[in-house]
Amino acid sequence: MALQEEFEKQGLWLFRYRGVLPVIILVIGFLLFIQTELNPDSFFIKNSPYEIYFEMLCLLISLFGLFIRICVIGFTPKNTSGRTVKNQVADSLNTTGMYSLVRHPLYVGNYFMWLGPAILSGNLWFVVAFTLFYWVYYERIMYAEEQFLRNKFGKSYIDWSNKVPAFVPDFKNFIKANLSLSWKKVVRKEITGIFVLFAIFFVFDYVGVYLENEKELNPFLLYSMIFLLFAIAIIKVIKKYTNLLKQENR
């Protein structure tokens, strides 16, 4: 099999199972986090007054990734950007908004979302390894997606891809999105992801408090978890019994 077809085949397989990568990162990062907690001398911030600020910095990095995802999903039409893992879908070619800066903005957002827990592990080599592994893993997926878009949109895709970088944004290319921000779509698509993100940081914090024999959890994470639990319950009821979160072509 030629290398081009091999890359595409690998990319399609990884696309269907791309949800596995975050689990791998999380498990390894969590084990390294426990190791750092048990050996605080291995990381200079541990057991210092700045530890909580470090934790919040990691959360901010992840929230930055979430913000990128919101900027992508909230401004795109239906069946173009999302969490589908079965098949690649593109009813139209996105070229404005975040897609005028970078060809794969969702994967840029995902990188920062998972970079937060990776840094929280307190292991620099793991952060470096995660970054390299993420690039190799998603490079195949991006290749398969671009082959799909090239075959479907032809010259329109080629012209756009020649101007827009794959992963590192070029801000001078920015073109305002054709559609307005759809908070309904953002809530529908991303509320679970927001909850999972805060749940991960809450679990890390809880385990850290337990291992260090402390008495107090990070109040921001605790109250955020309580709020998000209520929010998800309300949103699920709204989605099941009403059309309030539905929006045509979004």
- Walk me through the domains of the chain, giving residue ranges and CATH numbers: 3-180 (1.20.120)
What's the mean pLDDT when you consider all of the chain?
86
Give the mean pLDDT of 99-111.
Answer: 94
Query: Worst-scoring range by mean pLDDT, 10-19, 79-88, 118-127?
Result: 79-88
**What was the pLDDT predicted at 85?**
47
Q: Provide the percentage of residues in the chain whose pLDDT is more than 90.
A: 44
**What was the pLDDT predicted at 203?**
93
Contact residues for 11 (Cβ-Cβ < 8 A; gap 6+): 140, 141, 142, 143, 144, 145, 147
Encoding tokens for residue 201? Answer: 């940081």
More confident: 4 or 240: 240
Cα separation of the two ends of the chain: 39
DSSP secondary structure, 67-115, as one string: HHHHHHHTTS-TTTSS---SS---SS---SBGGGT-S-HHHHHHHHHHH
